[in-house]
């Protein structure tokens, strides 16, 4: 539908016509059936007299449209997801009544049925442009408005929105479909909510259902008492109750940290956090009511990395209440202003206001590694990305917008000084409160407080693509001291820009008393241009390791001098500081995936690191990158031997790990991903863990870990469909249905792969989360022979997927079904041919394909490098 993809030009033209004040009166009837709901919207707005514009609306049927007292024929004015409005007056009123559809894709108003108790849960997800799936709207961020919501729902449900409810009244009518509520033919209630402040439509929200709820209050810095609430499904209430007080405490610490740091108290009437099922994203910053994926409700043991990620996510969404909600971008090209800032400040808050003091090491290993990977793809783009339409926006929720932007902001804070930076943020928030702003507005305030000209900085850091590399070289004097420490900055040929950096150089040596590698000196300096001499290092004794970008203060790739590299490779596991380990490990991983460091040496170095690493996210990413290396990057002739070597190493480390520790849990989970059909020892270990004949001290075989074992056994064809169904029958829940579908799809047979392919593409009853589970299982079996037949089928199916699926489901399918274990030579040949034939395809579609094919090109290049050693 051409009207569903709003262009920037169309948005600018509509902004020139539609004028404030804009006010919405939205009534939703959620009692009319299990498939659709009734939506009625009255919009009062000003406009240029005599002009024409349109509303956005995706609906099964528009039943009536009335503009300024005149009834319009829906058949004539509603088409291509737009309601046309002609001959506007200075002041206008338009009413649109429609029948809209619940989704099972996490877009618009998602409807989920919990199989464990039959309860129905609804939640909305409107970013980027999906408020139009629920009500008629000018769905672009710079047409801010106020909103009144009224919601009719079954009486057993609660309804939440951006604002507190002003009234909740019983309605004598019965629901038309008893399956909607918890009780057949129950009565209904009408929920009326207070008017919102001026806000963008994508930040409005509605959730409804029999959610379990907890409440507290926060004494805000402006003297107001802010009500707080947390919600989740009833089936998760027992598990969630154990964490609610902790999560309230984290949130309150965030309130205090942000208000103090920015000098602006929390601006809204309440703050709810509602954990919802089958969520596409991690969370969403709806004003006053954040929605969060309920996989963050921990019924089973999770890694410390995930527990910390939950804290960062909570603080990330809270940061948006100021940066993104209180002040909002004018158009999606400044999406990074929302996401980069929230990512940076949530990490800062996590490190300084919670118990997760190594959050910057977490950021380096997790977020920054994501940024480096994204920034070296052919689809790299400036942080301030060109966004021509909504499809461009979808694909820019990526490692550059989030992680590179956050890393660059960290560099900017160091560049201008923390105090002056946050003074500028204070001015920016106050000046543009409840309105829209641009990058120029932000830089203008930062220039005033810092005294620096940031236009040149912005031009190189925010408006140019690519990543630099800073390499160290050392000339030694006859007495072993440093005669010259030189830093050489380079840029990729396709993005030849050298950037100014404010960074630190760390000297590291062995502490003889402890045997640890510790920092003994540090120098801060500016690096600009191609060559920088570190004057402060001259005459110093040569340390065992010279670490460029110590403390991870700038965004760059680094390369060691030869002696430092050899020392780091042999001794990384002895580094005392978590952030120094993360920076160093990331450099070795980058060299490995660039084909500059042997894959098998990276594997062995990682195994040594895993024996002592204590930072959970570094541990998690080290495991993941070792897996990629062993499966894809080693020489093909060595692959089976390396995989067996890794599996044996993980099993040994798991058995030696501290009982019940995060390390033990991550190691045994990773081991279960290295099964091969016919490996009797692996099958015996996995079955033994499942039936209790094999045990590791302190390892709890809980629900989720049981499914990890089931998945491992299914992958080596030791667990069939009937076994999987029997396991599901023991506890049929939303999560376990997803686990079961994934286990069926991961089986190492051609029949299982055909089934998974067909289910993912054609079973429209699958929820978004179930579809993703099937796709993950399909692509997770590391068998080239099984994957090879799907290489051609994948590229033959791309156009159909793009034409027939919503964006989020198309993305899940095009990424999840990519047969990455097929021969990379085959994938690159077919992928390059598809791209050549589809040069005129939608940019968002091409980007998804380019990135998958680029990963195969890299695999081929790095594999060949290792084969040639």
CA distances from 538 to 67, 484, 565 (A): 77, 6, 20
Q: Taking a C-beta distance cutoff of 8 angstroms, is the pair 764, 800 a contact?
A: no
Instruction: Tell me the three state secondary structure of residue 517.
Output: strand
pLDDT tens figures, 424-441: 999 999 999 999 999 999
What is the CA 220 to chain-centroid distance, rounded?
A: 29
pLDDT tens figures, 124-183: 999 999 999 999 999 999 999 999 999 999 999 999 999 999 999 998 665 554 444 445
Residue with tokens 């692959």: 639
C-alpha to C-alpha distance for 538 and 485, rounded to whole angstroms: 7
DSSP result, 627-696: HHIIIIIS-GGGHHHHHHHHHHHHHHHHHHSPTT-HHHHHHHHHHTT---TT-HHHHHHHHHHHHTSS--
In what helix (H) or strand (E) does residue 706 lie, and over which residues does it extend?
Answer: helix 703-715
Instruction: Pick the range with the lowest mean pLDDT from 209-223, 327-341, 824-838.
Output: 327-341
Helices in 216-243 by DSSP H: which ranges?
A: 237-241
| Strand stretches in 305-450, DSSP E | 327-329, 435-437
Q: What is the pLDDT of residue 76?
A: 97
Instruction: Pick the range with the lowest mean pLDDT from 98-112, 170-184, 512-526, 805-819.
Output: 170-184
Share of the chain above pLDDT 90, in %: 95
Q: Where does the pLDDT of residue 396 fall: very low under 50, low under 70, confident under 90, or very high at 90 and above?
A: confident
Q: What is the pLDDT of residue 719?
A: 96
Share of the chain above pLDDT 70, in %: 98
C-alpha to C-alpha distance for 248 and 827, rounded to whole angstroms: 48
Minimal CA–CA distance to 254: which of 277, 276, 226, 282? 226
C-alpha to C-alpha distance for 374 and 669, rounded to whole angstroms: 27
β-bridge partners, 274: 231, 291
Q: What is the pLDDT of residue 386?
A: 85
Instruction: Pick the range with the lowest mean pLDDT from 183-197, 275-289, 354-368, 557-571.
Output: 183-197
Q: Where does the pLDDT of residue 2 fall: very low under 50, low under 70, confident under 90, or very high at 90 and above?
A: very low
317 has catalytic annotation = yes
Instruction: Tell me the three state secondary structure of residue 381.
Output: coil
C-alpha to C-alpha distance for 580 and 327, rounded to whole angstroms: 36
pLDDT tens figures, 671-701: 999 999 999 999 999 999 999 999 999 999 9
Q: What is the pLDDT of residue 1?
A: 37
Enter the tokens of residue 506.
Answer: 């760390």
Q: What is the pLDDT of residue 8?
A: 95
Minimal CA–CA distance to 630: which of 641, 642, 644? 642
| DSSP secondary structure letter of residue 363 | I
Q: State the distance between the two ends of the chain, measured CA to CA, in whole angstroms.
A: 53
CA distances from 642 to 611, 645, 680 (A): 18, 5, 18
Q: What is the pLDDT of residue 172?
A: 64
C-alpha to C-alpha distance for 403 and 12, rounded to whole angstroms: 29
Instruction: Tell me the three state secondary structure of residue 745.
Output: helix
The crossing angle, in degrees rounded to 10, of helices 807-816 and 843-867 is 20
**Residue 229 — φ and ψ, nearest 5°?**
-145, 155
Buried b (16+ CB within 10 A) or exposed e, 414-452: bbbeeebbbbbbbbbbeebeeebbbbebbbbbbbebbeb
β-strand pairing of 225-232 with 212-219: antiparallel
CA distances from 205 to 82, 100, 133, 135, 495 (A): 21, 16, 12, 11, 41
pLDDT tens figures, 452-502: 889 999 999 999 999 999 999 999 999 989 999 999 999 999 999 999 999
CA distances from 783 to 361, 631, 677, 778, 789 (A): 34, 10, 10, 11, 11
Q: Taking a C-beta distance cutoff of 8 angstroms, is the pair 607, 649 a contact?
A: yes
Instruction: Tell me the three state secondary structure of residue 417.
Output: coil
Q: Does residue 23 surpass a pLDDT of 80?
A: yes
pLDDT tens figures, 613-672: 999 999 999 999 999 999 999 999 999 999 999 999 999 999 999 999 999 999 999 999
Burial of 494 (0-12, 13-18, 19+ CB in 10 A): exposed
CA distances from 56 to 14, 48, 830 (A): 11, 19, 38
CA distances from 398 to 172, 403, 464, 617, 837 (A): 49, 8, 16, 19, 26
Mean pLDDT for 797-808 is 95
C-alpha to C-alpha distance for 345 and 343, rounded to whole angstroms: 6
pTM for this structure? 0.96
Helices in 57-208 by DSSP H: which ranges?
A: 74-77
pLDDT tens figures, 585-617: 999 999 999 999 999 999 999 999 999 999 999
Query: What integer best gives the mean pLDDT of the chain?
Result: 95
DSSP result, 754-802: HHHHHHHHH-TTS-HHHHHHHHHHHHH---HHHHTHHHHHHHHHHHHHH
Q: What is the pLDDT of residue 185?
A: 65
Q: Taking the CA atoms of 358, 364, 368 and 370 in sequence, report the sign of the dihedral they define.
A: negative
Enter the tokens of residue 856.
Answer: 């195969």
C-alpha to C-alpha distance for 254 and 230, rounded to whole angstroms: 16
Mean pLDDT for 511-539 is 96
CA distances from 157 to 153, 173, 182, 294, 593 (A): 7, 15, 8, 19, 51
CA distances from 654 to 611, 664, 699 (A): 9, 5, 10
- The residue annotated as part of the active site, out of 285, 299, 308, 317, is 317
Mean pLDDT for 240-264 is 97
CA distances from 150 to 97, 111, 391, 681, 814 (A): 14, 19, 31, 61, 38
CA distances from 1 to 342, 637, 746, 806, 809 (A): 33, 49, 35, 11, 16
Length of the chain: 869
| DSSP secondary structure letter of residue 195 | P
Answer whether the bond into residue 46 is a cis peptide, omega within 30°: no
Of 391 and 583, more confident: 583
Q: Taking a C-beta distance cutoff of 8 angstroms, is the pair 685, 694 a contact?
A: yes
pLDDT tens figures, 733-786: 999 999 999 999 999 999 999 999 999 999 999 999 999 999 999 999 999 999
């Amino acid at each position: 539908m051409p009207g569903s993809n709003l262009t920037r030009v169309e948005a600018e033209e509509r902004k020139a016509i539609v004028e404030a004040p804009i006010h919405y009166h939205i009534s939703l009837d959620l009692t009319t059936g299990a498939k659709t709901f009734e939506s009625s919207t009255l919009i009062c707005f000003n406009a240029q007299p005599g002009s024409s514009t349109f509303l956005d609306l995706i609906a099964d049927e528009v039943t009536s449209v009335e503009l300024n007292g005149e009834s319009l024929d829906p058949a004539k004015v509603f088409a291509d997801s737009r309601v046309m409005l002609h001959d506007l007056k200075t002041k206008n009123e338009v009413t649109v009544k429609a029948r809209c559809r619940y989704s099972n894709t996490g877009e618009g108003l998602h409807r989920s049925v919990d199989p464990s108790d039959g309860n129905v849960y609804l939640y909305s997800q409107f970013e980027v442009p999906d408020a139009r799936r629920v009500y008629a709207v000018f769905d672009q961020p710079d047409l801010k408005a106020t909103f009144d919501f009224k919601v009719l729902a079954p009486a057993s449900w609660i309804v939440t929105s951006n604002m507190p409810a002003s009234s909740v009244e019983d309605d004598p009518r019965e629901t038309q479909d008893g399956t909607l509520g918890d009780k057949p033919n129950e009565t209904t209630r009408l929920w009326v909510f207070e008017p919102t402040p001026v806000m963008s439509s994508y930040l409005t929200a509605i959730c409804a259902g029999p959610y379990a709820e907890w409440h507290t209050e926060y004494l805000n810095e402006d003297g107001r008492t802010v009500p707080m609430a947390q919600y989740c499904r009833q089936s998760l209430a027992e598990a969630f109750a154990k964490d609610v007080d902790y999560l309230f405490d984290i949130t309150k610490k965030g309130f205090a940290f942000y208000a103090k740091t920015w000098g602006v108290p929390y601006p809204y009437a309440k703050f709810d956090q509602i954990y919802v099922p089958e969520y596409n994203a991690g969370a969403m910053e709806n004003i006053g009511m954040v929605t969060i994926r309920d996989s963050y409700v921990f019924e089973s043991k999770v890694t410390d990395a995930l527990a910390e990620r939950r804290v960062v996510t909570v603080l990330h969404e809270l940061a948006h209440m100021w940066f993104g909600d209180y002040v909002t971008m004018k158009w999606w090209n400044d999406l990074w202003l929302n996401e980069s800032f929230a990512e940076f400040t949530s990490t800062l808050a996590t490190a300084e206001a919670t118990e997760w003091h190594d959050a910057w090491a977490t950021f380096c290993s997790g977020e920054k590694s994501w940024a480096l990977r994204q920034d070296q793809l052919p689809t790299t783009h400036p942080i301030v990305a060109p966004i021509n339409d909504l499809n461009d926006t979808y694909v820019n929720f990526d490692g550059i917008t989030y992680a590179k932007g956050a890393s660059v902001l960290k560099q900017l804070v160091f560049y201008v000084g923390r105090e002056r930076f946050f003074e500028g943020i204070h001015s920016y928030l106050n000046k543009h409160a409840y309105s829209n702003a641009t990058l120029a507005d932000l830089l203008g305030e930062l220039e005033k407080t810092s005294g620096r000209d940031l236009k040149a900085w912005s031009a190189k850091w925010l408006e140019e693509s690519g990543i630099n590399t800073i390499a160290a070289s050392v000339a030694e004097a006859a007495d072993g001291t440093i005669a010259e420490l030189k830093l050489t900055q380079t840029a990729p040929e396709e993005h030849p820009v050298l950037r100014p950096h404010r960074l630190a150089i760390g000297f590291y040596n062995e502490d003889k008393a402890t045997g640890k590698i510790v920092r003994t000196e540090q120098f801060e300096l500016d690096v600009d241009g191609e060559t920088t001499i570190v004057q402060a290092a001259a005459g110093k004794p040569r340390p065992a390791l010279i670490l460029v970008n110590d403390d991870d203060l700038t965004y760059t790739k680094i390369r060691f001098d030869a002696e430092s590299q050899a020392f780091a490779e042999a001794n990384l596991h002895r580094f005392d500081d978590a952030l120094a380990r993360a920076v160093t490990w990331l450099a070795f991983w980058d060299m490995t995936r660039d084909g500059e460091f042997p894959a098998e040496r990276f594997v062995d170095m990682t195994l040594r690191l895993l024996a002592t690493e204590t930072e959970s996210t570094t541990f998690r990413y080290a495991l993941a990158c070792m897996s990629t290396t062993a499966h894809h990057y080693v020489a093909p002739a060595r692959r089976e031997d390396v995989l067996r070597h890794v599996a044996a190493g993980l099993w040994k480390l798991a058995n030696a790990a501290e009982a019940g520790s995060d390390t033990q849990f991550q190691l045994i989970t990773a081991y279960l991903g290295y099964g091969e059909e016919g490996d009797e020892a692996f099958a015996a270990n996995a079955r033994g863990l499942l039936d209790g004949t094999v045990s590791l001290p302190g390892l709890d075989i809980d629900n989720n870990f049981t499914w990890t074992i089931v998945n491992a056994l299914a992958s080596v064809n030791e667990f069939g469909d009937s076994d999987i169904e029997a396991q599901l029958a023991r506890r049929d829940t939303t999560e376990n249905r997803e686990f079961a579908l994934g286990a069926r799809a991961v089986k190492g047979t051609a029949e299982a792969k055909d089934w998974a392919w067909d289910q993912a593409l054609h079973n429209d009853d699958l929820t978004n989360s179930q579809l993703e589970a099937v796709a993950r299982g399909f692509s997770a079996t590391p068998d080239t022979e099984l994957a090879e037949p799907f290489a051609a089928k994948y590229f033959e199916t791309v156009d159909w997927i793009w034409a027939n699926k919503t964006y989020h489901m198309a993305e899940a399918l095009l990424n999840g079904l990519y047969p990455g274990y097929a021969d990379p030579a085959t994938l690159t040949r077919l992928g390059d041919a598809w791209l050549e034939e589809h040069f005129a395809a939608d940019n968002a579609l091409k980007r998804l394909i380019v990135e998958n094919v680029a990963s195969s090109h890299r695999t081929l290049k790095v594999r060949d490098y290792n084969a040639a050693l």
